[in-house]
């Protein structure tokens, strides 16, 4: 049971966590914090949080669990503000998609990585953002990756693991660097491709007609291009080394695919499409 949960950044991710914990009967009071009072009041009206504070130090006072759900570029400032005000038994975790950058931010803000910090990343989301988009089922059967480091208190890791499991998530652990490479391939690159394709088509002279006749495949592939641009800008900057590595792999293979199309090599195209279909069918299964 979490006595008092403070969510810094009450949007889709933080709001859905609060909703899921409420439904599970696993939290007492939920305190929200962000810069916009109207946004926080909306979270109260929706029943996502019980009350709010705009000052981060005040918001975390007395909390035994703090979840930081802000863009990666804001992490250091958040940890500078909250670390002196934390209760003795507080555990802090985050939901950032690039763990190396979060660890660097925490280390800079706290003069080292504190034992109470458990880096985490729920592999869940949607193209819609904001507290209005939050829902209690978001984490059902979804994966959450924790990346504790050597100094992380094992008891703190257990508390964060239990919190996510109470939301219905499947929790695993990874090394920080490995997490960032895996997510660069499976999440960051697909988002970049979706944004890039939409922008390419938008720059065509006949783009109005192109979008008018776009079918379900285009909508499915580009759905994630409706995600929060601020968040994805920060992810690209924070995890750029791993992302560039995956972009290089992709552009190399895209060049090979172009050669197949240019050469009219139907056999090679069929083999590639068959192999890709088999891999995706196996993943979906």
pLDDT at residue number 210: 81
Segment 240-249 shows an average pLDDT of: 96
Distances (CA, A) of 250 to 205, 242, 247: 27, 13, 5
Task: Tell me if 51 sits within 8 A of 10, measured CB to CB.
Answer: no
134 pLDDT above the threshold of 90: yes
Distances (CA, A) of 174 to 25, 39, 55, 145: 29, 34, 33, 7
| 76: nearest Cα among 61, 56, 59, 90 | 56
Q: Is 284 exposed, middle or buried (0-12, 13-18, 19+ CB in 10 A)?
A: exposed
Segment 42-56 shows an average pLDDT of: 97
Token pair listed for 44:
């109260």
Segment 188-199 shows an average pLDDT of: 96
Instruction: For 62-80, give one letter per residue: b (16+ CB within 10 A) or e.
Output: bbbbbbbbbbbbbbbebbe
Segment 133-149 shows an average pLDDT of: 96
Average pLDDT value over all residues in the chain: 95
Domain residue ranges in the chain: 2-174, 178-284
Task: Tell me if 2 sits within 8 A of 21, measured CB to CB.
Answer: yes
| 83: nearest Cα among 32, 1, 75 | 75
- The CATH superfamily assigned to 178-284 is 6-phosphogluconate dehydrogenase C-terminal like domain (1.10.3660.10)
pLDDT at residue number 131: 93
Task: Tell me if 55 sits within 8 A of 29, measured CB to CB.
Answer: no
The CATH architecture of the domain made up of 2-174 is 3-Layer(aba) Sandwich (3.40)
Distances (CA, A) of 4 to 19, 112, 119, 160: 14, 26, 19, 14
pLDDT at residue number 207: 79
Segment 111-125 shows an average pLDDT of: 95
Segment 171-181 shows an average pLDDT of: 97
156: how many CB neighbours lie within 10 A of its CB? 21
* CA–CA–CA angle 101, 102, 104 (5° rounding): 65
128 pLDDT above the threshold of 80: no
Segment 230-257 shows an average pLDDT of: 96
Segment 75-95 shows an average pLDDT of: 97
126 pLDDT above the threshold of 90: no
Least confident span in 143-152, 160-169, 203-212: 203-212
- CB contact set of 133 (below 8 Å; sequence gap of 6+): 11, 12, 15, 126
């Amino acid at each position: 049971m979490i006595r008092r949960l403070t969510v810094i950044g009450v949007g889709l991710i933080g709001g859905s966590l609060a909703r899921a914990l409420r439904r599970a009967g696993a939290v007492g009071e939920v305190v929200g914090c962000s810069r916009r009072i109207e946004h926080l009041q909306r979270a109260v009206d929706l029943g996502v949080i019980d009350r709010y504070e705009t000052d981060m130090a005040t918001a975390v006072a007395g909390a035994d669990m703090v979840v930081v759900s802000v863009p990666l570029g804001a992490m250091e400032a958040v940890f500078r503000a909250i670390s002196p005000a934390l209760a003795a038994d507080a555990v802090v975790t985050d939901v950032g998609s690039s763990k190396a950058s979060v660890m660097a931010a925490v280390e800079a803000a706290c003069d080292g990585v504190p034992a109470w910090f458990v880096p985490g990343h729920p592999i869940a989301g949607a193209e819609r953002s904001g507290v209005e988009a939050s829902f209690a089922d978001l984490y059902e059967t979804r994966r959450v990756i924790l990346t504790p480091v050597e100094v992380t208190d094992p008891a703190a890791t257990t508390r964060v693991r239990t919190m996510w499991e109470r939301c219905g998530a499947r929790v695993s652990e990874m090394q920080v660097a490995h997490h960032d490479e895996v997510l660069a391939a499976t999440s960051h690159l697909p988002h970049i491709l979706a944004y890039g394709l939409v922008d390419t088509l938008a720059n065509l002279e006949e783009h109005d007609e192109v979008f008018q006749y776009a079918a379900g495949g285009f909508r499915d592939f580009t759905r994630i291009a409706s995600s929060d641009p601020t968040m994805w800008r920060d992810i690209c900057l924070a995890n750029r080394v791993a992302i560039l590595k995956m972009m290089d792999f992709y552009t190399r293979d895209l060049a090979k695919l172009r050669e197949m199309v240019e050469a009219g090599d139907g056999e090679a195209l069929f083999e590639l499409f068959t192999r890709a279909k088999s891999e995706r069918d196996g993943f979906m299964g």
